[in-house]
Structure 1
Amino acid sequence: MRIRATVAAVSGALALSALAAPAAQADASAGDTTITKVVVDGDNMASVGTSVAKTIKVSVTAQDDSGILSAEEFSLSGPDYGYFTTGKPTCTVVSATTSTCTASVLVDPKVDYLTNASAGTWYVDALVDARDGDFVWKEKAGSFKFQRASKLSVNASPEPVTKGRTITVTGKLSRANWEDLQYHGYTNQSVKLQFRKKDSSTYTTLKNITSNSTGELKTTVTASTDGYFRYSFAGTTTTPAVNATGDFVDVR
Structure 2
Amino acid sequence: MRTHTTAAVVSGAIVVSALALPAVAQAAERPGVSAGFGDFTAKPAHPNTSLGNITFSKAVINGGKDIVLGVATKKTVIVTYTATSSSGVALTEAFLWQGTDSSSTDTITGSLGTGDDPVCAESTTRTGVYSCEAVFHINAASDLKNNGVAGTWKLFLGGYDLYANASYNDDVATTRIKEASQLTLDATPEPVRKGKTITVTGKLKRANWNDGTYVGATGQKVLLQYRKKGSHTYTTLKTVTSGAGGALKTTTKATADGYYRFSFATSKTTAASTSADDYVDVK
Check whether the contact 2:70–2:209 (CA below 8 A) recurs between aligned residues. yes
Distance 1:4 1:217 in 2: 40
Distance 2:51 2:20 in 1: 29
Q: The residue matched to 2:156 in structure 1 has which SS?
A: strand
Distance 1:199 1:28 in 2: 62
Alignment length (residue pairs):
246
Q: Percent sequence identity over matched residues?
A: 36
2:98 is equivalent to residue 78 of structure 1: yes
TM-superposition CA deviations, 1:110-158 (whole Å, max 9, x none)? 3235238622210001236789x99963221000111222111112222
2:237 is equivalent to residue 203 of structure 1: no
Check whether the contact 2:83–2:132 (CA below 8 A) recurs between aligned residues. no
Q: The residue matched to 2:93 in structure 1 has which SS?
A: coil
Distance 2:235 2:186 in 1: 17
Distance 1:241 1:29 in 2: 40
Deviates most, 204-213 or 76-85: 76-85
Choose which of 22, 25, 30 in structure 2 pairs with 1:6: 22
Write the letter of the residue equivalent to 1:28: L
Distance 1:90 1:251, change over 3 A: farther
How far residue 163 of structure 1 moved from its aligned partner, in angstroms, is 2.1
The match for 1:120 is 151
The match for 1:43 is 64
The match for 1:55 is 76
Distance 1:216 1:34, change over 3 A: same
Write the letter of the residue equivalent to 1:82: G
In structure 2, the gaps of 5 or more residues are 5-18, 30-34, 100-107
Q: How does 1:1-252 map to 2 (within 5 A)?
A: 1-2=3-4, 5-6=21-22, 16-20=36-40, 23=45, 26-30=49-53, 34-60=55-81, 62=82, 64=84, 72-79=92-99, 81-86=109-114, 87-91=116-120, 96-97=125-126, 100-112=131-143, 114-115=145-146, 118-127=149-158, 137-252=168-283
TM-score, normalised with respect to structure 2: 0.71
Distance 1:63 1:51, change over 3 A: closer
Write the letter of the residue equivalent to 2:112: F
Distance 2:56 2:20 in 1: 30
Deviates most, 113-122 or 172-181: 113-122
Distance 1:38 1:84 in 2: 17
Check whether the contact 1:89–1:102 (CA below 8 A) recurs between aligned residues. yes
Distance 2:225 2:207 in 1: 24
Q: The residue matched to 1:54 in structure 2 has which SS?
A: strand
How far residue 7 of structure 1 moved from its aligned partner, in angstroms, is 8.5
TM-superposition CA deviations, 1:22-51 (whole Å, max 9, x none)? 755731353xx6544222222341122222
In structure 1, the gaps of 5 or more residues are none
Distance 1:19 1:151, change over 3 A: same
Write the letter of the residue equivalent to 2:22: T
Distance 2:254 2:229 in 1: 13
